[in-house]
Amino acid sequence: MLNTNNRTPKTEYRIPQMPLIEIREVGTVKDVRRGIARIKGLPSCVYGQIVQFSQGTKGIVMGFNQREVLVIILGEEGDICVGDSVTSLAELLQVPVGEQFLGRIVNGLGEPIDGRGNIAASDMFSVFREAPGVMEREPVTEPLLTGIKIIDLLIPLGKGQRELIIGDRQTGKSSIGLDAIINQKDKDVLCIYCWIGGPQTALKKIIHILTQRDALKYTIIVSSTADTSAAEQYIVPYTASALGEYFMYKGKHVLVIFDDLTKHAWIYRQMSLLLERSPGREAYPGDIFYLHSQLLERAGKLKAERGGGSMTFLPIAETLQGDITGYIQTNLISITDGQLYINTSLFHEGFKPAIDLGLSVSRIGSRVQYPAIKELGEGLRLEYAQYREMLRMTKLRTRLSAEALEKIKRGEALHQLLTQINNNPVSVVEQIILFYAFKRKVLEALSPPLLKKFIEGVYGYLVAEDSGLAGLLQEKKELTADIKSRLDRIMVNFFKTTLPIADCISVSLKFVPMLS
């Protein structure tokens, strides 16, 4: 047997702790011009890598050759001089994200600019994060209500969709985005407004509207105004997407407005020319399509295993004299799931929002609509198109048939129903009531003042007289036989109590039994 008691005790050897050695590449600034720095050295850098100048300013590697590295400067270039040292960091650009950003205004780097102190971040997300894969997504089936009647009924949007808002300047494109944000109050949707290269005064108006309508508390404003660096204006939509992705992967629903991507394309063209890249069509670089497709593909609806959240994009693009065949405009139309085209002529006629139904489309379609909205919206697009055609005929002919006059009268009622002032979203229940009355062919018999009175007062009357019906519509969002009967009764009582007898005479004879 082995004698285990006589074993030699083990000798413990301790390896002395060596100090940690950090290896970094250091280069030298050769030239600084218009937000672009040319660096000598940094042989191991990669595209998109972060570098830091000796003053603490950071930059992004945007190109390189055998002689030099091209860097866009994230911040002011005034303190950077030729000969300064530049250190490469082993990281890509990241921004802070988290719940604490709600209600705040930040710049393109996620830093607060509203004067309310620092923001405690929950995490760091890559700015140029990859979009979710196909197997992580599921079809868009939930509606995203904007509170704009013409959109919710005729061009429905879904959670996870990308819908382009396109039109000439000063035609109400930003107002549509703001109305969509305001309508998300008390709903399970968080909002991000991304301001790209616009004036500071216009941004202040947007902030004032959101504050006034109590919408800023569930909104993040990511701003890079025209006086900021080109690099910051370039990354600001990606920063907004990263902030939205944090909430999306937490299982929440997010709405992001990009205002606007035309200016973003201009900034990227300017940067590319300074980086001496080969210009293509309209002097844009060859990867301009990839630039926006990479950004907009980050929207979508995730599967339940990935949290079930969604991120909806409403990018804005500007046209010149209504031309939607421009390079950037056609790129964005082909990338997105539909477009809302703002017609300048309609805008000057007073039809607001001035959405041209002939050129506007939602490729998601009616599958995201509630049953009642879907039923009431059927045929309205064609009916309105026929009305516009009849109006053109009245300019050529002095006499029209009775059928044509009836269509014009009905079209005028529809025109007045679809007209809506800014920052005044309409609830889904109110939309159901108004367009149910239109389907019942009650409204065309009213004069414009009486129709306006009906539009403004019938919803409040319903809530006061039959609040249970309003709650039922809010819950079911479908038109059962019982609901239709109760709506008919409400309309009859509303006309009896609000319209004078003399005005009732102006109603068509076929509706007299309903009012009796």
| Beta carbons of 177 and 257 less than 8 angstroms apart | yes
What is d(CA 363, CA 340) in angstroms, rounded to the nearest whole number? 11
Q: Which one is catalytic: 34, 116, 169, 363?
A: 363
Q: What are phi and psi of 402, to 5 degrees?
A: -60, -35
Long-range contacts of 60-63 (CB under 8 A, 24+ apart): 60/93, 60/231, 60/235, 62/271, 62/275, 63/275, 63/277
Catalytic, 397? Answer no
Beta pairing, strands 361-362 & 189-196: unpaired
3-state SS, residue 120 = coil
Residues whose CB is less than 8 angstroms from the CB of residue 23 and which lie 6 or more positions away in sequence, other chains included: none
DSSP character for 4? G
Max CA pair span of the chain: 125
Instruction: Decide: residue 167, CB within 10 A, 0-12 exposed, 13-18 middle, 19+ buried.
Output: buried
Chain position carrying tokens 């239709």:
484
Crossing angle, helix 402-418 and helix 448-465, to 10 degrees? 50
Q: Which residues are catalytic?
A: 363
